[in-house]
Amino acid sequence: MAKLKIIVLLLIVVLITGCTNKEKIDDDIPGEKKISSISFAEGTDTFNFQLDEFLLEDIKIEVKYSDKTKEIIPLDISMISKSDFEMLFTTGTYFININYEGKTLQALIYMNWGDEIISSLPKI
């Protein structure tokens, strides 16, 4: 009976150890395509838009992967905070943070109306 208890205890230990190491194995799958960096497809982090014509999709993100491939992704609402999104409904100059799959970029947005051009930086 004591041998049976020892065997059951050893099986439980092996199962617990196997479950905790599985996550590390899954993270390091050979040949898995991972994001190595993101940048603005336009080559600049400064954008000048007319408020009445602006669409989030006007800003494009270039995603570079570990396998040397690239992809252009249009900005969408899930990539910015609610407060950054709400700023884009008024004229002004704003810094917004863009998050994509754990990587972050910061953009400087000049939001203008008609012929009005805003050239001052926001107050910090």
Total of domains in the chain:
1
Q: Quick check: 9 pLDDT over 80?
A: no
DSSP conformation letters of 51-107 = GGG--GGGSEEEEEETTS-EEEEE--GGGS-HHHHHHTTSSEEEEEEEEETTEEEEE
Cα(64)–Cα(72) distance, integer angstroms: 9
**Residue 9 belongs to some domain of the structure:** no
Q: What percent of the chain clears pLDDT 70, i.e. is strictly above it?
A: 66
**Residue 87 belongs to some domain of the structure:** yes
Cα(27)–Cα(91) distance, integer angstroms: 44
Q: Quick check: 14 pLDDT over 80?
A: no
**Residue 19 belongs to some domain of the structure:** no
Q: Quick check: 122 pLDDT over 60?
A: no
**Residue 98 belongs to some domain of the structure:** yes
The predicted pLDDT at position 22 comes to 44
* CATH code for the domain in which residue 66 is found: 2.60.40.3630
Residue with the larger pLDDT of the pair 83 and 124:
83
**Residue 14 belongs to some domain of the structure:** no
**Residue 93 belongs to some domain of the structure:** yes
The predicted pLDDT at position 109 comes to 94
**Residue 78 belongs to some domain of the structure:** yes
The predicted pLDDT at position 74 comes to 97
pTM across the whole model? 0.64
Q: pLDDT tens digits, residue range 71-110?
A: 999 999 999 999 999 988 999 999 999 999 999 999 999 9
49-73 mean pLDDT: 93
The domain of 81 spans 35-112
**Residue 118 belongs to some domain of the structure:** no
